[in-house]
Structure 1
Amino acid sequence: MKTISQIMIREWKRIFSIPNFYVILLVIPPIIFLFYGFIYQKQFAKELPMAVWDEDQSSVSRTLIDMMEHNEYIHFTQTVYSNAEIEKLMREGKIFGAVHFPKDLESDAKKNHQSNITLYTNGAYLVPAKMIYKGAAGVIIKGGLAVVLQKAEKQGMPAEKANTLVQPIKLNTTTLYNPDFNYQMYLTPGLITVGLQMALIVAAVLILNLEFKRNTIDELLQISTSSSQIVIGKMLAHLCISWILFVLVAYVVFPVYELGKPETDFNFFLIYTLMSLACIGIGMMLSAISNNLLFVTDVALFFTSPAFVFSGFTFPRWAMPWYDQFYADIMPYTHFLDGFIKLYFMELPLSYATPEIVKLLVFIGVTFPLSIVFFQKKINQYLKENQA
């Protein structure tokens, strides 16, 4: 235990003195974390600029326009008179969508003739397009029902009966866990944690091989020639640094952006610790296999960079091809994220994250023993060459 403590303290000194470590682990993460929170500081995408093309110029079209303008997602900034104008404004980035009210809209509605209102959205911007559709569709459906209801009441039908006739089935929706669709609450934690995975792995791939690169291996071997003691000592040092980052995230960044959930802190800490160990294990395994710093760093970046895309955070994994799902499964972040969503966003008991915890433990149980085996071979070879 004394030997492991010596190795751990020595590794702490290296982390705080070698730029490869302290820049990756202690300088870049706080800047990136605060920056991610700042990006989504507004939390919601509201009042998206739209154009209106009103050929009917009737009380019905004006009412619908007014109702849409009062929707939080829509703000009419342009009046147009053709498809060409709509396309031009979209190409120039001045609007995200448009709505067209055809001629004779009101008269057709009064004659029980169907009339088509056209909603234009810019699919190149997926999120604004969906939000505009959500806002406009609700207004147009309500407006259409209101026209029919008003006509039925004018014909002498009681209001309650007319309302039941017009809308016999009513849909009530309840959105759990992020009811306001707050983008800061949704994206910031995910981006921060994927950044943590990247920092931990990129730093970990340099833990062992940097000893040879900086010619400090002899100093390390004077403390111990046991790879298990070296790996455990260095792992504990980097785990402590990961805990410092956890404190930064959970008790500084999250509260600053009102993302803190104190009741989830323990569960968050537990699954975060498992992810940290899995990341450190992967990095140390690569570090034990190869002394080529550029190669292992490239592998780490290649491995971690697409983690957010493949994790299922923005697109469901089950809808991905099998090889993409396989790639996602060999990244610890994927399983951390599944557990994080359950424990942090949904605030479920720890037992719900058992499958993810087991998978992270598998990463830990495989990578550290392999690191010990590969590094012991490297130590033995180095000692043999020196003796010769």
Structure 2
Amino acid sequence: MIKSLMLRELTYLWRDRGLRRILLLGSLVGLVLFYATYSAQVLRDIPTAVVDLDRSAASRELVQKLGQAENLKLVAFPGSYQEAQELLKRGQVIVAVVIPEHYGKNVALGRQTNVYMAIDGSNEIYATNATTAALTVAGTISANAGVKALLSRGFDPQQARDAYLGVDIREEPWFNPTLNYAYFLVLALILNVWQQCCTLAAATNIIGETGRPSWLQFKLAGTSKWTLFVSKSVVHICVFMLMILPIYFICFGLLDIPLNCNWAVFLLFTLLFAVALHSVGTLASSFARNAVDSTRFGMIIALPSFIISGYTWPLEAMPASIQHAAKLLPQTWFFQGLNYFTFKNPGWPFMRQYFLALGIIALICYSAAALITSRK
């Protein structure tokens, strides 16, 4: 009986062309799109304009160092601040550096001099990278100027360097040393597409039967609701896992996205998430009045879940009410755990809370769905 029901559900899933295309193609299309988007991995060649109002040897040296910065690309040399401002407004440059008059003279005399740097903050990703690159150049220039000032006062070259550069702070990013955007975002965005497709499919689990004449046939045949929906659920979850396997193969095998944990443990974690995700969709399906309502409920749950999961914006920085709501969703525990598994792998004693949370969510949602369905 269970085998027949599972084959029947698989047939229904395959015959539904719209659902079949979403399940088979949604994640793969997303993978191609997102990897192409973030294929540069690190932002380089950020368009930069330099206004040199001094035109001295020192200012030309500063311009040269800006041009040698890894992430900056000098594309314009406007003659005034106003011209640079227009370039920023039109989006032709992201950074505008203004070297003031008497810059070279002040540097030679060891006086403090200010170099103005305007950064387009309308795009946070661009702005963050541009700020980092500009500060690196500024630190180098400042250090060189300080050493030259000490040399002009008669210091020995080595003494001047030791005195000015007595504290050398070196930053070293861990877990993602190159700050690769593709490593951080591609897998998460693909899995977000996958979880949305799965949620929409799971949202048809119960309403798909209660809305069909076959429901009456099952009742007359004496088929229990438990047998029917367990059979359907097993098929759905197996399909969800079959969808994700080629995605994982491409991401970890071909695109070299890091995975710092055991494959078996990671697949088990994904399976538990698929079960929890299916339970949420099943619960939405249980109290829906029709298939349209069920799809709406699924979308309401699936679409914002990634945003409030804490993956791209710290959960701790969100209002307390959103934090509590987010912890009720399996997506929060999965995407938080995903970050630990792919980059850090802190071990089972720490990660078991994520497994436990997904298991509890699945148990509660399936139980609530069974209770609601039994009264229909």
TM-score interval (norm. to shorter): over 0.9
Q: TM-score, normalised by structure 1?
A: 0.91
Asked if 1:69 is matched to 2:64, the reply is no
Q: Out of 299, 305, 308, which is 1:307 matched to?
A: 305
Paired with 2:220 and 2:54, the residues of 1 have a C-alpha distance of: 88
> Once the 2 structures are TM-superposed, how far is the Cα of residue 222 of structure 1 from its aligned partner?
6.3
The offset of 1:262, in angstroms, is 7.8
Separation (CA, whole Å) in 2 of partners of 1:204 and 1:150: 69
Partner of 1:111: 109
Report the Cα offset of residue 55 of structure 1: 0.9
> Within 5 A, what are the aligned runs for 1:284-303?
284-303=282-301
Alignment-derived partner of residue 98 in structure 1: 96
CA contact (8 A) 1:34 1:253 kept: no
Alignment partners' CA distance in 1, 2:185 and 2:290 = 35
Q: 2:7 aligns with which of 6, 9, 27?
A: 9
Q: Report what 1:276 is aligned to.
A: 274
Q: 1:222–1:21: structure 2 CA closer, same or farther, 3 Å change rule? A: farther
Identity of aligned residues (%): 21
Give, in angstroms, the shift of residue 184 of structure 1.
0.8
Decide whether the 8 Å contact of 1:246 with 1:269 is kept in 2: no
Deviates more, 1:217-226 or 1:273-282: 217-226
Give the secondary-structure state (helix, strand or coil) at the position aligned to 1:261: coil
Task: State how far apart, in whole Å, the 2-side matches of 1:104 and 1:223 are.
Answer: 94
The equivalent of 2:144 in structure 1 is 146
Other-structure match for 1:205: 203
Distance 2:319 2:75 in 1: 42
1:137 — aligned with what?
135
| Deviations 1:245-285 (CA, angstroms, capped at 9, x unpaired) | 22111112443332253854223212111111111001111
Deviation at 1:330, TM superposition (A): 2.2
**5+ residue gaps, structure 1:** 379-388
The SS at the match of 1:348 is coil
Equivalent-residue separation in structure 2 for 1:173 and 1:291 (angstroms): 57
Q: Are 1:250 and 1:265, in contact at CA under 8 Å, matched by a contact in 2?
A: no
CA distance in 1, matches of 2:190, 2:19: 19
Matched-pair contact (CA < 8 Å) for 2:109–2:149: no
Residue 207 of structure 1: CA displacement? Answer: 1.6
TM-score by length of 2: 0.94
Residue by residue, what CA displacement relative to the aligned partner does 1:82-119 show, whole Å, maximum 9, x if unpaired?
23212211222211111111111121122232111111
- 8 Å CA contact 2:329, 2:361 repeated in 1: no
> How far apart in 2 are the matches of 1:248 and 1:71?
39
Alignment of 1:335 with 2:333, yes or no, is: yes
In the TM superposition, residue 215 of structure 1 has moved relative to its aligned partner by 3.0
Whole-Å separation in 2 of the counterparts to 1:293 and 1:314: 32
Q: What corresponds to 1:381 in structure 2?
A: none
For the residue of structure 1 that corresponds to 2:375, the secondary structure is helix
User: How far apart, in 1, do the equivalents of 2:359 and 2:75 lie?
Assistant: 54
Which AA in structure 2 matches 1:85?
E
1:176 matches 2:174: yes
| Residue segments in structure 2 that go unaligned for 5+ positions in a row | none
Tell me which of 33, 38, 41 is aligned to 2:39.
41
**Who is 1:157 aligned against?**
155
Out of 193, 196, 199, which is 1:195 matched to? 193
Q: 4+ residue runs of structure 1 moved beyond 4 angstroms? A: 219-224
Whether the 8 Å CA contact 1:264–1:344 is kept in 2: the answer is no
- Distance in 2, Cα, partners of 1:340 & 1:240: 20
3-state SS of 1:306 partner: helix
CA displacement at 1:220 relative to structure 2 = 4.4
SS at 1:305's partner residue? helix
1:24 maps to which of 22, 25, 29: 22
Q: Report the AA paired with residue 88 of structure 1.
A: E
Distance 1:224 1:374, change over 3 A: farther
Distance 2:79 2:221 in 1: 81
Contact kept, 8 Å, 1:60 with 1:106, in 2: the verdict is yes
SS of match in other structure, 2:306: helix
CA distance in structure 2 between the aligned counterparts of 1:50 and 1:224, rounded to whole angstroms: 74
With over 3 angstroms needed to count, the CA separation of the structure-2 counterparts of 1:371 and 1:116, relative to structure 1, is same
Aligned residues: 376
Secondary structure, aligned partner of 1:7: helix
Per-residue deviation, residues 279-314 of structure 1 (Å, max 9, x unmatched):
100111111222321122112112211222211222
The farther-off stretch of 247-256 and 203-212 is 247-256
SS in 2 for 1:11: helix
C-alpha deviation, 1:130, in angstroms: 1.0
1:324-363 equivalences under 5 Å are: 324-363=322-361
Per-residue deviation, 1:127: 0.9
Distance 1:289 1:191, change over 3 A: same
Residue aligning to 1:80: 78
